[in-house]
Structure 1
């Protein structure tokens, strides 16, 4: 997997300079999960952001009385896990590999290291995360309104 090309193609990292993209590629770790394998579980402490490179992941929440409710299926170049970085809280959902999946992982420490040398680039990433979260909230509101 060519980490640099994946990072450069992700909307999350748009507007970063070539040097910033190279630094993120150095920091990112390639991860592979087989279909059905859990990436993280609801209740785990959030400490990493993941970018989908190949395959699909499913985000789901436990339902009262058992079972899981699917919230989203994510494909390249989507990302997940960002909430654990923002609020340093426990994961609110479980994510598993829906298919065999390749991911790039950036930990909170990786992003702190990046911020220390590339503050402007870090700001762009935070703004792009906020834009994505805002879009996801709008989509959820539309879905809720259509059910009413």
Structure 2
């Protein structure tokens, strides 16, 4: 974490000058997931039959949705436009499992259009519906940040348009736009805190009924 903060605040020298590595997040997966198969977006996208979505339209949707997000109030439209250039834009059909519970994955997605189910698979085989993600919501951000296993399964309920950010793109964002990277990571931290509180409350309610 200290190295990450140094990168974002300009306290570290470039790699060529003996500073920290320029692949912080992508390297984190190879260091922390020994013996596990990390599922990249290129693998998952091909498996799901993801179709490319017009990048200009995708960037416009992303900028519009996140421009209204209170967690990114420090970023103006120009900042969001630059941030949007680091994302991939795709369309998916219904009933596609974008994120699988307990797998290792190096990407997150932002929902631009459509609805996805967020389910937690139970040890006895049942599925607990934790939430439904809609336009503006993020999925998979926790694993992108800590290289840990996915907590839940995320499946498209309708045709969906998604913006995808993987570890390699996040590394490029840190190197080329450190201020935007810092704002994005701060937003992810706030969203994760809120999401975890909501999930905890939801699980507590489900368990109290059993």
Query: What TM-score bracket applies, with the shorter chain setting the length?
Result: 0.7 to 0.9
TM-score by length of 2: 0.63
Mean Cα displacement is larger for which, 61-70 or 103-112?
A: 61-70
Deviation at 1:29, TM superposition (A): 1.1
1:7 aligned residue (62, 72, 89): 62
Provide the rounded CA distance (Å) in 1 between the counterparts of 2:131 and 2:194. 14
2:161 aligned residue (81, 94, 102): 102
Provide the rounded CA distance (Å) in 1 between the counterparts of 2:155 and 2:194. 23
Instruction: Determine if the alignment matches structure 1 residue 65 to structure 2 residue 65.
Output: no
Partner of 1:38: 97
CA contact (8 A) 1:41 1:93 kept: yes
CA contact (8 A) 1:59 1:94 kept: yes
Deviation at 1:27, TM superposition (A): 2.2
Higher RCO, 1 or 2 (CA under 8 Å, sep at least 6)? 1
Deviation at 1:24, TM superposition (A): 2.9
- Encode CA deviations 1:67-95: one digit per residue, 9 max, x unaligned: 32111101001111101111111212111
2:75 aligned residue (5, 12, 16): 16
Provide the rounded CA distance (Å) in 2 between the counterparts of 1:128 and 1:28. 16
**Unaligned segments of structure 1, at least 5 residues:** none
Aligned residues: 148
- Encode CA deviations 1:25-50: one digit per residue, 9 max, x unaligned: 32211122211111121122121111
Higher Rg = 2
Partner of 1:87: 146
Structure number with the higher strand fraction is: 1
Mean Cα displacement is larger for which, 131-140 or 56-65?
A: 131-140
Q: Which residues in structure 2 correspond to 1:118-137 (within 5 Å)?
A: 118-137=177-196
Provide the rounded CA distance (Å) in 2 between the counterparts of 1:123 and 1:4. 20
Deviation at 1:3, TM superposition (A): 2.2
TM-score by length of 1: 0.86
